[in-house]
Amino acid sequence: MRPINEIIVHCTATPAGREVSVDTIRSWHKQRGWRDIGYHWVVHLDGSVEEGRPVGQVGAHVAGHNTGTIGVVYVGGVDKDMRAKDTRTAAQKDGLEKLLRDLMSHYPSVTKISGHNQYAAKACPCFDARQEYAQLLSEVAAPPTVINSDVPVSGKGTVTASTLNLRSEPKMSGRDIGDIPRGTTVDIFGSDGDWLKIKTPAGYEGWVARRYVAVAGSDPIADPSAHFETTAPVYMRRLIDDIPQWSALDAAAAFGNFGHESAGLEILEEISGGGGYGWPQWTGSRRRAYETWCRENGLDPASDEANYRYVVIELRGPEERTIAAVAKANGLEAKTLAFERSFERAGVKHDDRRLDWATRALAAYRAAYPKQEIDMSAAPAEEEKTGGPVEKMIGAGKGAAQGAVGGVTIGGGIVIIGTTMGWLPPEADTAMFGAAVTGVLTGFSSFVMACIGAYRAPANGGS
């Protein structure tokens, strides 16, 4: 993984309110002869975030400053007359801030957030990024949770960043061994300034930035999944009741995202403080709105109940589109991703981890509320409504009698008309009488045979 020390913010220089896709920007940049879109991340009008060029590749967004940087662009930046203007929507501001926090959490080496206009004679991104995000940078770069002298040479710790880089040496230039997901409990057996030497449950050893590890005795989390697997099913069942369009799969998709964002509903406060908060890690105006609502309703913002109730408020209000987006997706994976794209709009996706938590949520729900299946093959077949022997005899008699009367009536009518009009010879009257007698005898014999058959047949029509 290439070293990252700065994030540079841009705008697409498109009119306010006009959406632009990643593919469109990619086509613009390819027309310039570039091999791919120059930006690493794109923040859309609704606050959703979409990946552009892979972060592992050097971008093409600021001449002379592409190495060691990540390029982030928001859609907009000019008014209808194409004059420079900060056109970010409220959702974009929140989405951009959340993306920046996620990136800084993933890349602790980031020390600067700048705008394109700080490196070129351009208005882009049409606001002072350094000034706006100075506080954000200081929050994420806050001092370690515990004092250096208090860090034990050995002990346990829990990863509190979204993901934490494991390095071969206690410095940012150390080789990147891999990522450790939030909520992982690690063994600590050494320290060097702002770095801890740890061992993961899988047996990998290396160094991590200590400000992203909660040391046992400070704020330990023994088993992040234990609370999740007992709490998630309860609130999933309520969510299905409160959002009638949703099934257990949809609820699991939501809690899969919450599980990832808050390490199994356990770590509600982002490590630096002042960033994400709650099950979904609300940031910016969404976090402020949540905290205000909690104060007005006398609820503890750290409680599961407060988190759940506000999630429902958002789903029924400003995030209502999430309901349909998740409901129409097919399968747990698609629903989990749909929830992230619509509700979370995370900068760093980690789709596989969200799906892992969603799978846990669904399994826990099914264990807590086993579905009562009805085995239709074991149910008795519905009895044919033909009645017993007596009813069958009556029915058969009616049929035979109706047949005989019908035959005599029609035949007799034809003969009478025929002889009257001269179409038939007089002898037809005698034939008619014979036909009538034959019809009556035939009907009577049919009635007798039907009665005998009905009497001998079982009531349920069996053989």
Of residues 341 and 164, the one with the higher pLDDT is 341
Report the distance separating Cα 356 and Cα 337, nearest Å. 12
> Which domain-ending residue is among 140, 161, 176?
140
Same-domain check for residues 308 and 333:
yes
Same-domain check for residues 350 and 301:
yes
129 token code pair: 């990024």
55 token code pair: 């972060």
Does a structural domain hold residue 380? no
Does a structural domain hold residue 379? no
Same-domain check for residues 311 and 255:
yes
Of residues 231 and 374, the one with the higher pLDDT is 231
Residue 351: Cβ within 10 Å count: 15
Same-domain check for residues 132 and 195:
no
Max avg pLDDT among 140-149, 256-265, 425-434:
256-265
Does a structural domain hold residue 377? no
Q: Does the pLDDT of residue 436 top 60, yes or no? A: no
Does a structural domain hold residue 373? no
Q: Does the pLDDT of residue 307 top 90, yes or no? A: yes
Same-domain check for residues 46 and 88:
yes
Max avg pLDDT among 40-49, 148-157, 173-182, 364-373:
40-49
Same-domain check for residues 62 and 113:
yes
Single-letter code of the amino acid located at 405: V
Does a structural domain hold residue 281? yes
Of residues 398 and 76, the one with the higher pLDDT is 76
Q: Give the pLDDT of residue 335.
A: 96
Q: What average pLDDT score do residues 425-452 get?
A: 55
> Which domain-ending residue is among 140, 158, 179?
140
Structure confidence at residue 300 as a pLDDT band (50, 70, 90): confident
Q: What average pLDDT score do residues 68-86 get?
A: 93
Of residues 270 and 190, the one with the higher pLDDT is 190
Same-domain check for residues 189 and 228:
no
Same-domain check for residues 241 and 120:
no
> Which domain-ending residue is among 185, 215, 245?
215
Does a structural domain hold residue 1? no
Interval 411-421: pLDDT, tens = 556 555 655 55
DSSP state of 116: G
Same-domain check for residues 360 and 265:
yes
Q: Give the pLDDT of residue 459.
A: 39
Task: Tell me the CATH number at 198.
Answer: 2.30.30.40
Range of the domain at 188: 148-215
Q: What percent of the chain has pLDDT over 90?
A: 35
Q: Does the pLDDT of residue 319 top 70, yes or no? A: yes
Task: Tell me the CATH number at 302.
Answer: 1.10.530.10
Interval 350-365: pLDDT, tens = 888 899 899 999 998 9
Q: What percent of the chain has pLDDT over 70?
A: 71
Does a structural domain hold residue 378? no
Task: Give how far the C-alpha of residue 285 lies from the chain's centroid of Cα atoms, to the nearest Å.
Answer: 23
Counted domains in the chain: 4
Global confidence as pTM? 0.49
Structure confidence at residue 1 as a pLDDT band (50, 70, 90): low
Task: Tell me the CATH number at 18.
Answer: 3.40.80.10
Q: Does the pLDDT of residue 109 top 50, yes or no? A: yes
Same-domain check for residues 414 and 439:
yes
Same-domain check for residues 344 and 414:
no
Question: If DSSP codes are grouped into helix, strand and coil, which group holds residue 225?
Answer: helix
Q: Does the pLDDT of residue 384 top 70, yes or no? A: no
Single-letter code of the amino acid located at 173: S
- Catalytic residue positions, numbered: 10, 39, 116, 122, 124
CA distances from 454 to 58, 391, 445, 451 (A): 89, 9, 14, 5
Q: Give the pLDDT of residue 108.
A: 78
Q: Does the pLDDT of residue 463 top 50, yes or no? A: no
373 token code pair: 């299946």
Q: What average pLDDT score do residues 229-237 get?
A: 90
Q: Does the pLDDT of residue 33 top 50, yes or no? A: yes
Structure confidence at residue 106 as a pLDDT band (50, 70, 90): confident
Same-domain check for residues 35 and 110:
yes
Report the distance separating Cα 322 and Cα 316, nearest Å. 9
Separate counts of helices (H) and strands (E) for the chain: 13, 14
Does a structural domain hold residue 375? no
Q: Give the pLDDT of residue 21.
A: 94
Strands 41-43 and 112-115: unpaired
Of residues 362 and 268, the one with the higher pLDDT is 362
Structure confidence at residue 223 as a pLDDT band (50, 70, 90): very low
265 token code pair: 């509903």
Q: Give the pLDDT of residue 375.
A: 34
Mean pLDDT of the chain: 78
Q: Give the pLDDT of residue 36.
A: 93
CA distances from 43 to 12, 72, 93, 342 (A): 10, 8, 9, 13
Q: Give the pLDDT of residue 438.
A: 57
Of residues 136 and 328, the one with the higher pLDDT is 328
Count the alpha carbons within 13 Å of 463 in the hemisphere toward its beta carbon: 0
Closest of 98, 163, 14 to residue 344, by C-alpha? 98
Interval 19-29: pLDDT, tens = 999 999 999 99
Question: If DSSP codes are grouped into helix, strand and coil, which group holds residue 8?
Answer: strand
Q: Give the pLDDT of residue 420.
A: 59
Q: Does the pLDDT of residue 237 top 90, yes or no? A: yes
190: enclosing H helix or E strand: strand 185-192
Interval 115-157: pLDDT, tens = 999 888 889 999 999 889 887 776 665 443 333 434 445 688 8
Q: Give the pLDDT of residue 266.
A: 74
Residues for the chain: how many in total?
Answer: 463
